[in-house]
Amino acid sequence: MTAQDRPTALAENGRRAQLSLFARNFFKHPRMLGSIIPSSPFLVRRLLDRIDWQNTRVIVEYGPGVGTITRQLLHRMPSNAILLALEINREFVDFLQQSLPDPRLHVIQGSAETVQEALTRLGQPTADCVLAGLPFSTLPATNREAILTNSLDALAPQGSMLIYQFSSRVLHDLRRIFAEVECDFEPLNILPAKVYHCRP
């Protein structure tokens, strides 16, 4: 292997490790992940194009998994921004902390329900953007309600919450809790995903 081939090989090994870890955890906790493979580049782009990057300094990501979206958030974020990743799976937390040593990234093992406490720990009163791919349709109603209402309370007045789902069941709750909900769709993903852009 030549020196110039080495970075490509390392990236490929890293990608294989990501997919392997994600698939292994899908079989362990299928109701937590919802899909056997991470989000497609098309879905990631559709989500991130919705973010107002000029006015976004504090981002929260629920359930980052192996960091498919996390990596792209870090790539687009300004140098003075903060990304708080809340993940309940210890394997994913360890993987993210080892594979993404970026000072802007704060990975915390915890539930999305504790978003306000996590922001307080970082000295941040509110978030400009909350991004979530949690499988809301399989969560108990009390947990779903707590996550959505706590997210609303954690958002800055001009902030937004971006949610991607494989089912539209959460839409009723979103329209009840948020003042404004825009719907979008990304067919080039496994599974095709519904995207919701919610504002306080």
pLDDT tens sequence across 142-183: 999 999 999 999 999 999 999 999 999 999 999 999 999 999
C-alpha distances in Å from residue 26, one per residue of 108, 109, 134: 20, 18, 13
Lowest mean pLDDT among 7-16, 47-56, 91-100: 7-16
Q: pLDDT grade, residue 58 (50/70/90)?
A: very high
**For residues 133 and 164, is the Cβ–Cβ distance under 8 A?**
yes
Quote the CA–CA distance of 158 and 127 in Å, as a whole number. 10
The answer, as to whether pTM is greater than 0.85, is no
CB 183 within 8 A of CB 198: no
Give me the amino acid identity at 6: R
pLDDT confidence bin for 46, thresholds 50/70/90: very high
- Cα dihedral 66, 67, 69, 70, rounded to 10, equals 160
| pLDDT at residue 6, as a whole number | 45
Instruction: Give the model's pLDDT for residue 64.
Output: 96
Joined together, the tokens standing for residue 136 give 């809301």
Chain center to CA of 47: 10
Domain ranges of the chain: 6-199
Domain 6-199 matching CATH 3.40.50.150: the answer reads yes
